Structures are given as C-alpha cells and as structure tokens.
Amino acid sequence: KDFPTGSSGSQGGAVYEIDISSSSPDNYLMGHKIDGRVLFPATGYLTLVWKTLAKMKGQVFEEMPVKFENVNIFRATILPLEGKVKFTVNVMESTGAFEITESDGLTCSGCISVLNNHVDPVQQEQTTLNLTSSDVYKELRLRGYDYGNYFRGIHRTNIEGTSGELLWNGNWVSF
C-alpha cells in the first residue's frame, strides 16, 4: 500500500476541513460525543473516501455504490470546539487502496471498490421489536455514548440488536 509522491495518474486525493463551530455546516457533529468528547465518526472517514473516489471518477457519490474492505481505524480524532481539523484522503485508483491522514498521522486505511451491480438487501424474518429509540439511546448514554440529533438514527430494535428500523435523514456520516 505505498502511495507514491508527486503527480501520478493513478492516485487521487482530496483535503477536507472539518469545523464544528456553531456557524459551520459541520456543527451537527456535536451530536457525536463519546465520554464527553466530540469525536469524528468512523463513518465520516468512510464517507470522505467515498466522496474522493466519486470525485476521481466524475460521479455523484450517492449514486455510486461502493464496497469497503480491510478497513483499519488507527486512532480517534477529537474535534476541537474552535478551529478546524484537516483530513487528507489519498486513493490509489488502480487498486482502491486508501489512506486518511490528520496532522501527519495515519488515521484510517483500507480498500474501496465500485459495485457494478446494485443488490437489494436481504429481507430478514420479522421479529418482535421491543426497544424504542429512547430506550436504545438511554442505554448507550449510560455507557458513555452521548448521541444527539442527527446521530439518533435507530427508530426501534429487538433486544438482541439483530433486527430493527433505522431513520434516514439524508446524511451518510450520521447514518
């Protein structure tokens, strides 16, 4: 997974700045607190890679189904209440290998590929759904996960967590 330096036709990259100040569109990330700290969500890393690959291919990311493999998250990124965090995303177009760095440190790596065939999700056997959204998020809050607003996408679930209903709010990071 070596990423060559210099200009190369087979490597694409992008830089993303995240700012959670009250006037920023990224302010919704304030709803992703773990143990009292605002952390950049793991799904955020994947979304940045997805957007970068779509940009490289001249497509709209939400219209380009992808598959992630061998994803490794090396460290959490704490988002400051003031100031910006800069992520650099590099994707090798020929292999789909990607790396995300922040402050010159590797944050996430893996492989992404475009799916050629859209596959509908398999229908699961309907089970009794007996935990409400408030039940789920109360339980998570007791464990240090304080999810707010956009990050409350579980509508209801069964007690085993194997079947449920999710809410779509148009945001892949919080989904």
Q: State residue 1's pLDDT score.
A: 36
Strand ranges for 20-150 from DSSP E: 32-34, 37-38, 66-73, 84-92, 97-102, 105-114, 131-132, 145-147
pLDDT of residue 64: 92
What phi and psi, each to the nearest 5 degrees, are found at residue 57?
-95, 0
What is the per-residue pLDDT for 5? 36
Torsion angle of alpha carbons 167, 171, 174, 175, nearest 10°? 40
Check residue 78 and report its DSSP letter. B
pLDDT digits (tens, 9 = 90+) for 113-165: 998 865 555 555 555 668 888 888 888 888 888 888 788 888 888 888 788 88
pTM for the whole structure:
0.72
pLDDT in tens, 1-48: 333 333 334 567 899 999 999 888 999 999 999 999 999 999 999 999
Which residues lie across from 53 on neighbouring strands?
A: none
Tell me the three state secondary structure of residue 99: strand
User: In the beta sheet, which residues pair with residue 132?
Assistant: 156
Residue 69 clears pLDDT 90, i.e. is over it:
yes
